[in-house]
Structure 1
Amino acid sequence: VNVFAMGGWMHAKLTLVALLTAYFFSLGHFRLKLKENTAYKSGKFFRMYNEIPTLLLMGIVALVIVKPF
């Protein structure tokens, strides 16, 4: 399957997947900071940060189902 012939929706979906992967690695960074007790972020930040994967996954699923472009 030629990925470049599938259209822009595939590139958009893969970009969201890459962002989700980067988010995953950032969680490891924050985990170490919390373990060392050197985290300078508030609880409100982490509650908001927790919503990022939900938004990314909704975008990925929407792109798979709708294939808008």
Structure 2
Amino acid sequence: MILWLKALHLFFMIAWMAGIFYLPRLFVYHAQTQDQAVKDQFKIMERRLWLFVTPFALLTLVFGAALIGSYGLNWLKVSGWLHVKLVLLLGLYGYHFYLYRLVKQFATDTNTRGPTFYRVLNEAPVLVLLAIVVLAVVKPF
């Protein structure tokens, strides 16, 4: 059973990450264009992508919590690496909802940031994901 939980947790995490890697890339292009018709198309794409990946974020959480439940609270207490992973994960969920705020700003044409900001924003979760994967696989402490 645990292997199924792990497989589903990983699948939904990969699908979620694909979406939150791509959404800021859409913001880059959206911030670069001056054509209102193109902006309107980006608004649709951004909203749909955020709505598409949000269930993956929730299912990642559900299957992760099921894994922790399967291993038990004693395992949770002694797994220091998992505590760090959970803190980083909270950051990713915060990032996910920050992206929603940006989707709303673009939707109302109130974005004030340029494409460089969104390029940097696009790279941030890559480093967090690397740390999470290393913690989950290596379990350094």
Q: Same fold (TM over 0.5)?
A: yes
> Relative to total residues, which structure has the larger helix share, 1 or 2?
2
**Structure with bigger RCO (C-alpha 8 Å, 6+ apart):** 1
> Which residue of the partner structure matches residue 44 of structure 2?
none
- Of 98, 102, 113 in structure 2, the residue corresponding to residue 26 of structure 1 is 98
5 Å matches for 1:18-57? 18-57=90-129
State the percentage of identical aligned residues.
37
> Which residue of the partner structure matches residue 132 of structure 2?
60
**Runs of 4+ with deviation above 3 angstroms:** none
Kindly provide the CA deviation profile for residues 24-54 of structure 1, in whole angstroms up to 9, marking residues without a partner as x. 0000000111111111111100011011221
The secondary structure found in structure 1 opposite 2:105 is helix
The residue type equivalent to 1:9 in the other structure is: W
What is the number of residues matched between the two proteins?
68
Superposition RMSD in Å:
0.9
* Greater Cα radius of gyration, structure 1 or 2: 2
The secondary structure found in structure 2 opposite 1:51 is helix
Runs of 5+ consecutive residues of structure 2 not aligned to the other structure: 1-71
Rounded to whole Å, the distance in 1 between the matches of 2:139 and 2:78 is 13
The secondary structure found in structure 1 opposite 2:111 is coil
